Structure 1
Amino acid sequence: MTDHDNELELRRKKLQFRGAHRGTKENDILVGRFMDAHLATLNARQLDEFEALIVDIPDADFFKWATGKEKAPAAYDTEVLAMINELSNAR
């Protein structure tokens, strides 16, 4: 395993912890589904996108965006948000 691979794996573990502690049960479920399905294979850019969503965004906004109830601002309307939205039951 290279240093780059080790760095990505460490980031995944940190994000897994943060993602599992979003704050609301609904968001915990959405983020948990996403992490179960995709976290192990995200590249560095996707990890950046995921981190921005779970660190920068208030729970209420995240839920509306993740379930497609509102459109996210361009800076957060990312591939990762689309992946989360696909796993949402709101579709």
Structure 2
Amino acid sequence: MQDNFTASSPSSSSSASGVAEDNLAARRRRLKFRANHRGTFETDILIGGFVEANADTMTAEELTDMENILEMPDPELTDWLFGRLPLPEEKATPMLRRMVEDSRIRRGG
């Protein structure tokens, strides 16, 4: 009787990690595009600049967090990033906190 199970070879695991890296690279490219094409100059600069500077080192979880942030309305994001309104605790993910802090530093505040 022939065994239908095959052991995982090193090449198959490295192939799987290559696919995962390709997936992360594609997500990073999409994220950069979306962040730089928000529709308003201010958000393109603030959000796009942050993403351009950080996307290449973001983990899969951080990319997911950033993708979710990009689903938020621009007026809310700009109010938080410019410090016009405090960041609500229920929206304060680690990534959004980083963005707010980065924006504060860029503004010299």
Under TM normalisation by the shorter chain, which class is it?
0.7 to 0.9
Supply the distance in 2 between the matched residues of 1:65 and 1:46 (Cα, whole angstroms).
Answer: 19
State the SS of the aligned residue for 1:2.
helix
Q: After the TM superposition, which residues 23-42 of structure 1 pair with which residues of structure 2 at under 5 Å, given as runs?
A: 23-42=39-58
Do 2:65 and 2:93's aligned partners in 1 also have CA atoms closer than 8 Å?
yes
Structure 1 range deviating more: 5-14 or 27-36: 27-36
Give the structure 1 partner of residue 96 of structure 2.
81
Gaps of 5+ in 2: 1-16
Q: After the TM superposition, which residues 5-84 of structure 1 pair with which residues of structure 2 at under 5 Å, given as runs?
A: 5-54=21-70, 56-70=71-85, 71-72=87-88, 74=90, 76-84=91-99
Gaps of 5+ in 1: none
Q: Percent identity at matched positions?
A: 33
Q: Which has the larger radius of gyration?
A: 2
Runs of 4+ in 1 over 6 A off after TM superposition: none
TM-score for both structures, normalised by structure 2: 0.72
TM-score for both structures, normalised by structure 1: 0.84
Give the structure 1 partner of residue 8 of structure 2.
none
- Structure number with higher relative contact order (C-alpha < 8 Å, ≥ 6 residues apart): 1
